[in-house]
Chain A
Amino acid sequence: MSTQPIIISASPHVHSDRTSKKIMYDVVIALIPAFLVSLYVFGIGAFIVTAVAVASCILFEYLIQKYLLKTAVTIGDGSALITGILLAFNLPSGLPIWMVIVGSLVAIGVAKLSFGGLGFNIFNPALIGRVFLLVSFPVQMTMWPTAVENNLTIADGVTGATTLGMIKEGLMFGETMTEIGTRLPSTIDLLLGISGGSLGEMSAIALLIGGVYLLVRKVISWHIPLTMLVTMAVMTGIFWLINPEQYASPLIHILSGGALLGAFFMATDLVTSPMTKKGMVIFAIGIGVITVVIRLFGAYPEGVSFAIIIMNAFVPLINTYFKPRRFGAKIKSKIV
């Protein structure tokens, strides 16, 4: 008999090697391609914004947990790191540093810790941080440094519009899509990330690589991203078919703005998305519809962040009403 006491515990006596930490770091790995593209496109500005967001998210979590809440410090679990990266990905690369810090404080302090910390927050913390900044500092939050000129320089001064912004503005001034189309980035540029926009939403290819990684590692399932993108494509497709001069094509809608970043990284946030497959599909349809409505008919050119936050609020309801089918609940078996 060994000298140490025997452990008595209830079954199961084995555990899978998946841990919350591993899941979090898988998400970080999946974000790397998009981060590299943002470095290439926006240069040092992207790096500064990301570094500041990550550092301040982790620092705020530490300070609040240690000195304000006096609870265990959980900065090691990787979730504050992800919030930091995702917040940065949703900001223009030229945003003043103090605003990045304010956004981080709102994300961690208000959206996450005031709800009870990891797992208890209703809304995606990074998105709350971003939306807070967007409504508080609309000018700075929509000054998009244009891609090529600012490569490897600190971005200030030269700014341009996002693809969706150009469309919205053009349509407002009575232009047709054909006229606007001459100024828009090409599909190839959208895929590679040569256009204006938030730091991390640039390159469709980089985001898709990260998304596929998450799917392969089973961190996310296809239900949310696919349903959301298909909903957007179908809805924008209908309008585009009705009047291609007034509405942009589904391809532009999917590849520009925050659609892919939102579909793979924001809407799929484990904590703030539904816990059943049925619920996920409903949730993603809601995001798709609200996004398209805002983009086509709202005041903002882009609506992914708002759509996700609105649907986040419905998640408890969705979890209550869209339950998995209980085994044997409805007998459909037949004696052969």
Chain B
Amino acid sequence: MLKTFPIGGIHPPENKLTSSKSIKRLPVPKVVNVPISQHIGIPAEIVVSVKDKVEIGQVIAKSGGFVSSNIHSPVAGTITKLDKIIDTSGYKKQCIVIRTDVKNEANFEEIEYPLKKEIELTPKEIVQRIHDYGIVGLGGATFPSHVKLNVREGVKLDCLIVNGVECEPYLTADHRLMLEKSEEIVVGIQILMKALQIDKAIIGIENNKKDAIDAFKKVTKNLDKIQVAALQVKYPQGGEKQLVRAILNREVPKNGLPLDVGVVVNNVGTIFAIYEAIQHNKPLIERVVTVTGKKVENASNFWVKIGTPIKDLITEVGGLPEGTRKIVNGGPMMGKAIKNTDVPVTKGTSGILVVSEDEASRGEPENCIRCGECVFVCPMGLEPHLLMNLSEKGLFERASNEDIMTCIECGSCSYVCPSNRPLLDFIRFGKNIVKKLETSKN
């Protein structure tokens, strides 16, 4: 029996259309729009002004606090504007607009770094560089990575879990990265183990990516501190708490963090970015993005500069197919529908999913038939139907008592509801109000 988490979970059609498409480099965009808030926490502070010339990897916005992150220029060019542009959240957000200098050769160099195994930096230096080089969690949550590594005195850690689950349907960015950069990722794991001073790491990969499992087994054959765990395919196994439970059989306490059970979780994409930052002095200025959809002509995986407008990616795969009605930043379960294709790729963009007419609309909501399916699939042991009801009726205190805040917004409840009830929508609404009520109380 393959390992998995015990409560809830679903298995939507995988639709991993691009798992055999190797990662191609997207042509350097003419203009990049780099938002200053690409991570969870305080937005970065702009340190450049209009008409400044910037180099690749130069800091253009500085971390605005502990839970924040530096932002680097993905291209060499000139700052043309400091403007507010609609980002993936749907709101206008402060962006730094940079026009790429087409004459600067640095923009078009395709550097393939040789594998470098020796880790020279000390644990402190590693954490500092991860901070300086703007590394955030690339799995989607974009939590600044240095925060996870700044472990308080006295907290005992014993295991690093490497998240190679990629449980979202359609997305293959992590899968391809694991296949193409498995050796680098393993060095990245060793870097993190050194930084955290722990000597056990487990790479969790779902069993629909057998080639990635084999690749890591091969690379780690002589490394007994790093293990590979094949997991049963089940969404949302990529959720930190679910993954820790699946691999180590440890349950992160309510409102707690993996840290509380001695674990740090990092995504494979993040670990590769850490490898490049530590071994090759490369800040986080690009990432792998899957551009996909059932009707997309040349769906594939790309190395994309942060700030690239999504329309550039869509042009690359053959344009928007006829009948496109929705464009999603991320996967179909947790991704956000975007308003237009000018929205830039950010550190958290793992995929662009193009959805056509037949799948873009939701079904008409009907009465709840009290089948309990939402309860059975909830990976957090919640009662989504109840939380929706309480939120709808404005009973936020009760919703809070029913643990609405522990919802991870995986969407399994809305996915299975046979009556098309907007469960997660109301739960999100309830969470927002409860959060506001709690802050006003304190």
Interface residue ranges, A against B (CB under 8 Å): 1-2, 4, 6-16, 18-20, 22-23, 74, 77, 79, 117-120, 270-277, 323-329, 331-336
CA distance A273 to B341 in the complex (A): 47
Q: Which residue of B lies closest to A220 (CB)?
A: B371
Chain A nearest Cβ from B249, distance in angstroms: 7
Partner among A74, A274, A333 whose Cβ is within 8 Å of the Cβ of B250: A333
Are B381 and A326 in contact (CB-based, < 8 A)? Answer: yes
Are A2 and B325 in contact (CB-based, < 8 A)? Answer: yes
Q: Which residues of chain A have C-beta atoms less than 8 A from B419's C-beta?
A: 19-20, 119
Chain B facing A: main interface SS: loop
Are B375 and A276 in contact (CB-based, < 8 A)? Answer: yes
User: In the complex, given contacts A11-B328, A326-B406, what are 8 additional A-B residue pairs having Cβ atoms less than 8 angstroms apart?
Assistant: A1-B320, A7-B325, A13-B326, A13-B355, A14-B169, A15-B363, A16-B415, A328-B241
Most chain B CB within 10 A, of A23, A276, A327, is at A327
Are B381 and A11 in contact (CB-based, < 8 A)? Answer: no
CA distance A326 to B383 in the complex (A): 9
Enumerate 30 A-B pairs (CB-CB under 8 Å) in ascending A order: A2-B320, A2-B322, A2-B323, A6-B327, A6-B340, A8-B339, A10-B428, A11-B332, A11-B333, A11-B409, A12-B332, A12-B333, A12-B334, A13-B333, A14-B12, A14-B333, A15-B362, A15-B415, A15-B420, A77-B366, A324-B375, A324-B378, A324-B382, A326-B254, A326-B406, A327-B7, A327-B245, A327-B254, A328-B406, A329-B381
| A335-B381 contact given A13-B337, A19-B363, CB 8 Å threshold | no
Are B381 and A118 in contact (CB-based, < 8 A)? Answer: no
| A16-B369 contact given A6-B326, A23-B418, CB 8 Å threshold | no
Chain A facing B: main interface SS: loop
Q: Which residue of A lies closest to B420 (CB)?
A: A15
For residue B17, CB closer than 8 A to chain A, the reply is no
Q: Which residue of B lies closest to A221 (CB)?
A: B376
CA distance A331 to B258 in the complex (A): 12
CA distance A16 to B255 in the complex (A): 30
Residues 412-434 of chain B, each 1 if its beta carbon lies under 8 Å from chain A, else 0: 00111011100011001000000
Interface residue ranges, B against A (CB under 8 Å): 7, 10, 12-13, 90, 156, 158, 169, 241, 245, 248-256, 261-262, 320, 322-328, 330, 332-341, 353, 355, 357, 359-363, 366-373, 375-376, 378-383, 385, 403, 406, 409, 411, 414-416, 418-420, 424-425, 428
Q: Which residue of A lies closest to B414 (CB)?
A: A12
| A11-B323 contact given A326-B381, A329-B254, CB 8 Å threshold | no
CA distance A212 to B369 in the complex (A): 21
Are A12 and B325 in contact (CB-based, < 8 A)? Answer: no
Chain B nearest Cβ from A245, distance in angstroms: 43
Q: Which residue of B lies closest to A272 (CB)?
A: B370
CA distance A326 to B366 in the complex (A): 27
CA distance A250 to B337 in the complex (A): 58
CA distance A271 to B368 in the complex (A): 8
Q: Which residues of chain B have C-beta atoms less than 8 A from A79's C-beta?
A: 369
Q: Which residue of A lies closest to B356 (CB)?
A: A2
Pairs A-B, 7 closest by C-beta atoms: A12-B411, A275-B372, A333-B250, A119-B367, A328-B254, A270-B371, A14-B332
CA distance A334 to B262 in the complex (A): 10
Q: Which residues of chain A have C-beta atoms less than 8 A from B322's C-beta?
A: 2
Are B320 and A324 in contact (CB-based, < 8 A)? Answer: no
CA distance A252 to B18 in the complex (A): 59
| A336-B248 contact given A6-B326, A13-B337, A328-B254, CB 8 Å threshold | yes
| A275-B385 contact given A11-B336, A326-B254, A328-B241, CB 8 Å threshold | yes
CA distance A4 to B323 in the complex (A): 8
Are B12 and A323 in contact (CB-based, < 8 A)? Answer: no
CA distance A248 to B255 in the complex (A): 55
Q: Which residues of chain B have C-beta atoms less than 8 A from A331's C-beta?
A: 251, 253
Partner among A13, A333, A334 whose Cβ is within 8 Å of the Cβ of B335: A13
Are A16 and B12 in contact (CB-based, < 8 A)? Answer: yes
CA distance A119 to B418 in the complex (A): 12
| A324-B369 contact given A8-B339, A16-B415, A336-B248, CB 8 Å threshold | no
CA distance A133 to B265 in the complex (A): 63
Most chain A CB within 10 A, of B251, B368, B370, B425, is at B370
Q: Which residues of chain A have C-beta atoms less than 8 A from B337's C-beta?
A: 6-11, 13
| A12-B370 contact given A6-B339, A324-B378, A325-B381, CB 8 Å threshold | no
Chain B nearest Cβ from A316, distance in angstroms: 10
CA distance A16 to B373 in the complex (A): 12
Q: Which residues of chain A have C-beta atoms less than 8 A from B370's C-beta?
A: 119, 270-273, 275
Q: Which residue of B lies closest to A329 (CB)?
A: B254
Are B353 and A13 in contact (CB-based, < 8 A)? Answer: yes
Q: Which residue of B lies closest to A270 (CB)?
A: B371
Chain B nearest Cβ from A79, distance in angstroms: 8
Chain A nearest Cβ from B399, distance in angstroms: 14
Are B251 and A335 in contact (CB-based, < 8 A)? Answer: no
Q: Which residues of chain B have C-beta atoms less than 8 A from A327's C-beta?
A: 7, 241, 245, 251, 254, 379-381, 406
CA distance A4 to B336 in the complex (A): 19
| A11-B158 contact given A2-B324, A119-B368, CB 8 Å threshold | no
Are A333 and B251 in contact (CB-based, < 8 A)? Answer: yes
Chain A nearest Cβ from B251, distance in angstroms: 5
CA distance A74 to B415 in the complex (A): 23
CA distance A327 to B5 in the complex (A): 11
CA distance A14 to B358 in the complex (A): 11
Are B369 and A270 in contact (CB-based, < 8 A)? Answer: yes
CA distance A23 to B252 in the complex (A): 36
CA distance A102 to B252 in the complex (A): 56
Chain A nearest Cβ from B247, distance in angstroms: 11
Chain B nearest Cβ from A221, distance in angstroms: 8
Are A11 and B411 in contact (CB-based, < 8 A)? Answer: yes
CA distance A11 to B331 in the complex (A): 9
CA distance A22 to B334 in the complex (A): 26
Are B156 and A335 in contact (CB-based, < 8 A)? Answer: yes
Q: Which residues of chain A have C-beta atoms less than 8 A from B90's C-beta?
A: 8
Q: Which residues of chain A have C-beta atoms less than 8 A from B248's C-beta?
A: 333, 336
CA distance A275 to B372 in the complex (A): 4
Are A335 and B335 in contact (CB-based, < 8 A)? Answer: no
Are B250 and A18 in contact (CB-based, < 8 A)? Answer: no
Q: Which residues of chain A have C-beta atoms less than 8 A from B415's C-beta?
A: 12, 14-16
Are B411 and A6 in contact (CB-based, < 8 A)? Answer: no
Most chain A CB within 10 A, of B12, B251, B406, B409, is at B251
Partner among A13, A117, A274, A335 whose Cβ is within 8 Å of the Cβ of B158: A335
Partner among B369, B372, B414 whose Cβ is within 8 Å of the Cβ of A118: B369
Chain A nearest Cβ from B336, distance in angstroms: 7
Q: Which residue of B lies closest to A5 (CB)?
A: B325
Are A23 and B371 in contact (CB-based, < 8 A)? Answer: yes
